[in-house]
């Protein structure tokens, strides 16, 4: 969208926020606001790689700089920030202490004001319900370099999340993860996959599409999953 068209005089006093997605090895930033009672993303950066903790601040700064490029100069840069994190960063509804320290350092070094956090898979489920009008029933898959994270939702409820080490076969990895949930009935016939690398995402999608999901003995689907 053309941001100049969005920033009319009537909207100039709106609150704008940062969203920072923190994943193992990747970080991405976006600017968003509330428009007609719905979250609206105005600008988003390309994903930036990070490996060591020492890289994290620079990677985050690069992401913020990329996202802010087309933001009007006469509007103050956002400071309030919502963080999107992996489920492995969270325990009992709180971010684990070791990861809290990372977020505190980011906020301190880059003058950000933390406003909350969301678990990425749960945010996807919420977005799906908002857009489609019904609770999500699906297998949500985060693909990463060394592992995949699988979250199972039925009628909007999170059944569970598990992490599986990456092998040469993504379908086998997904099957291994799903068997850990131990469902006696069929699994949702829908997969939602995400990561920060568009090219790899399409490769994973094609691998999942090529697999015969109705022939498996370990897990059952009512019909071939939509991906």
Domains defined for the chain, CATH in brackets: 3-119 (3.30.420.40), 135-215 (3.30.420)
Residue 85 CA to residue 50 CA, distance in Å, equals: 15
Using DSSP, state whether 194 is helix, strand or coil.
strand
Query: Which residues are 28's β-sheet partners?
Result: 21
Confirm if 114 and 99 have CB atoms less than 8 A apart: no
Spell out a b/e string for 103-112, using b for 16 or more CB atoms within 10 Å of the CB, else e.
beebbeeeeb
Confirm if 176 and 170 have CB atoms less than 8 A apart: no
pLDDT at 180: 94
pLDDT at 13: 57
Q: Which residues of the chain have pLDDT under 70?
A: 1-13, 74, 196-199
Using DSSP, state whether 95 is helix, strand or coil.
strand
Nearest to 154 by CA among 137, 134, 140, 179: 137
Strand 48-49 versus strand 138-143 pairing type: unpaired
Claim: this prediction has a pTM higher than 0.75: yes
pLDDT at 39: 79
pLDDT at 4: 44
Task: Give percent of the chain with pLDDT exceeding 70.
Answer: 92
Confirm if 12 and 71 have CB atoms less than 8 A apart: no
Strand 90-91 versus strand 94-95 pairing type: antiparallel
DSSP-derived secondary structure for 177-203: HHHTT--SSPBPSBEEEE-S-HHHHHH
């Amino acid at each position: 969208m053309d941001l100049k068209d969005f920033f009319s005089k009537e909207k100039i006093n709106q609150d704008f926020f940062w969203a920072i997605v923190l994943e193992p090895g990747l970080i991405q930033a976006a600017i968003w606001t509330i428009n007609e009672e719905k979250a609206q993303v105005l600008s988003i950066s390309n994903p930036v790689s990070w490996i060591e903790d020492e890289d994290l601040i620079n990677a985050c700064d690069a992401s913020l700089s990329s996202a802010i490029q087309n933001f009007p100069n006469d509007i103050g840069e956002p400071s309030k920030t919502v963080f999107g994190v992996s489920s492995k960063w969270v325990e009992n509804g709180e971010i684990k202490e070791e990861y809290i320290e990372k977020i505190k350092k980011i906020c301190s070094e880059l003058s950000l004001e933390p406003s909350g956090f969301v678990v990425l898979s749960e945010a996807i489920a919420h977005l799906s319900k908002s857009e489609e009008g019904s609770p999500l029933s699906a297998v949500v898959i985060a693909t990463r370099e060394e592992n995949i994270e699988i979250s199972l939702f039925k009628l909007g409820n999170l059944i569970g999340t598990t992490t599986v080490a990456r092998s040469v076969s993504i379908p086998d990895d997904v099957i291994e993860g799903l068997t850990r949930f131990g469902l006696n009935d069929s699994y949702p016939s829908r997969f939602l996959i995400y990561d920060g690398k568009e090219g790899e995402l399409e490769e994973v999608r094609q691998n999942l599409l090529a697999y015969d999901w109705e022939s498996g003995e370990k897990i059952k689907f009512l019909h071939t999953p939509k991906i």
